[in-house]
């Protein structure tokens, strides 16, 4: 090895050592630091320099949800009432969809949006367009491979954990550590990562719960209760972890995606409380009792009774009068 080569290696080793050197600060220094203000990529649940996850059963609409979130951020637009204050560059890493299906979906997303992203604002990595498939993000080699694409991005969508983080066992916390370290490194660089994941048989996110430890936001998408006829992307959205936002912003919603013949899509949403109330009214008028409705919709009896009383006040339901026996006694 020549002298210039030895010098280059030595410089690289020193640079690595400098990067790995820990640094502490006094609380006084920390308080006096001028740190970048934490803004929202999509208010209120997707912060800059943040980590989030959305999970759901297969086929319920989580990829549509992730795509529309990505495009809203890239265009500086709005999705389901959540607003992006400005446009930011987005990297969408897809792990399983055929390129033609991905193309068709993004055509629908873009044609249906009133906002227009710049041509290069949303970048896509997908398996069919790679010679050797997608990298494994739970390995250092895989993380290094995507660096040229993550460097310019402000939001990185990983769709999904099962196909893009393949090393180790899904239900073991240690297998997640490499991905967690990468996500924290992205956060330290001012980037936001949104993970897309599957739910398990019990309805919670599949595998180790350790994934949620460092996340700001965890969103669970679930099939509507008591609505066996639901078609397409109709689901309940629940904020299961909501760091920094509360109250109305964190209320559960019922959301439905519909497709028109021309390929455009539209989203409708309402609070889950309003949706549940409407179902209770429907079932009351079909002759079910409040206790039966509670079992049907998997809600508390007190909730069913409260909705019944509201329906009576609003004139949407009249409680049947008891039949009388001869002599004026109730049957």
Joined tokens for residue 312: 């009576």
Which segments in the chain show pLDDT lower than 70? 1-20, 170-171, 226-232, 322-331
Residue for token digits 């006040």? 313
Q: Is the pTM of this model over 0.85?
A: no
Look at residue 17 in the predicted model and tell me its pLDDT.
57
Q: What is the pLDDT of residue 23?
A: 83
Q: From 309, 267, 264, select the one nearest 284 (Cα to Cα).
A: 309
Q: What is the pLDDT of residues 199-208, one digit of tens each?
A: 988 888 888 8
CATH superfamily for domain 40-250: P-loop containing nucleotide triphosphate hydrolases (3.40.50.300)
CA separation for the pair 49, 92 (Å, rounded): 17
pLDDT in tens, 174-199: 889 999 999 999 999 999 999 999 99
State both tokens at 87.
Answer: 């446009």
């Amino acid at each position: 090895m020549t002298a210039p080569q030895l010098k280059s290696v030595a410089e690289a080793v020193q640079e690595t050592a400098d990067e790995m050197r820990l640094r502490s600060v006094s609380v006084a220094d920390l308080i006096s630091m001028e740190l970048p203000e934490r803004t929202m990529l999509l208010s209120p649940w997707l912060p800059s320099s943040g980590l989030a996850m959305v999970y759901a059963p297969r086929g319920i609409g989580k990829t549509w949800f992730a795509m529309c979130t990505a495009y809203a951020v890239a265009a500086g637009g709005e999705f389901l009432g959540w607003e992006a204050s400005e446009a930011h560059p987005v990297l969408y890493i897809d792990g399983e969809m055929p390129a033609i299906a991905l193309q068709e979906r993004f055509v629908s997303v873009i044609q249906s949006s009133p906002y227009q992203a710049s041509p290069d604002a949303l970048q896509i990595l997908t398996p069919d367009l790679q010679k050797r498939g997608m990298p494994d993000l739970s390995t250092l080699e895989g993380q290094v491979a995507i660096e040229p694409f993550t460097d310019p991005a402000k939001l990185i969508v990983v769709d999904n954990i099962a196909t893009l983080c393949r090393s180790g066992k899904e239900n073991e916390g240690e297998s997640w550590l490499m991905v967690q370290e990468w996500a924290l490194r992205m956060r330290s660089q001012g980037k936001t990562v949104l993970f897309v994941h599957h739910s398990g048989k019990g309805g919670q996110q599949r595998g180790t719960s350790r994934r949620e430890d460092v996340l700001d936001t965890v969103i669970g998408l679930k099939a509507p209760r008591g609505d066996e006829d639901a078609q397409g992307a109709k689901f309940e959205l629940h904020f299961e972890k909501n760091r920094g936002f509360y109250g109305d912003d964190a209320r559960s919603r019922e959301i439905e995606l519909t497709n028109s013949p021309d390929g455009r899509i539209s989203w409708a949403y309402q609070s889950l409380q309003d949706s549940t109330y409407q179902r209770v009214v429907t079932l009351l008028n079909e002759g079910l009792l409040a206790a039966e409705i509670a079992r049907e919709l998997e809600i508390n009896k007190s909730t069913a009774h409260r909705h019944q009383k509201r329906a009576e006040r609003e004139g949407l339901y009249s409680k049947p009068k008891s039949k009388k026996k001869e002599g004026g006694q109730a049957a």
